[in-house]
Amino acid sequence: MSNVNDNVHTTSSYRPVETGIRSPLAVWSLVLGLSSIAFGFTLFVPIAGIVLGVLSRRREPEGRTMALVGLISSAVMLLGSVVALAIGLAVVVPAGVLGLLHGLAG
């Protein structure tokens, strides 16, 4: 009499699917780049996004696309922040100096 379980293999070739983040630097570069766009003009967040994007492109080849998007968005926001700061200083500083000179003369 043959047992039903005689033909059942005891070893399995099943391997669980890996779902973990394999490129955390690229993810953080992307998050910082997009958050700097969403939350307005800052200087520190885009700089951190650029640094993490460059490190990710060197160390994590599987996250190159996310790192590139993070780099581009961070660079655009950093450029926008610098331009806004330059325009603000060009408008505010001369007005302050003129006000100071007018106050001293009068």
pLDDT in tens, 65-106: 999 999 999 999 999 989 988 998 888 888 777 777 777 665
The closest of 31, 21, 18 to 69, measured between CA atoms, is 31
pLDDT in tens, 4-39: 555 555 566 777 666 666 889 999 999 998 898 887
Element holding 48 (H helix, E strand): helix 44-59
Element holding 100 (H helix, E strand): helix 64-105
The domain locations on the chain are 21-105
Contact 43, 5 (CB under 8 A): no
Contacts of 87 (CB under 8 A, 6+ apart): none
What pLDDT is recorded for position 1?
57
What pLDDT is recorded for position 17?
65
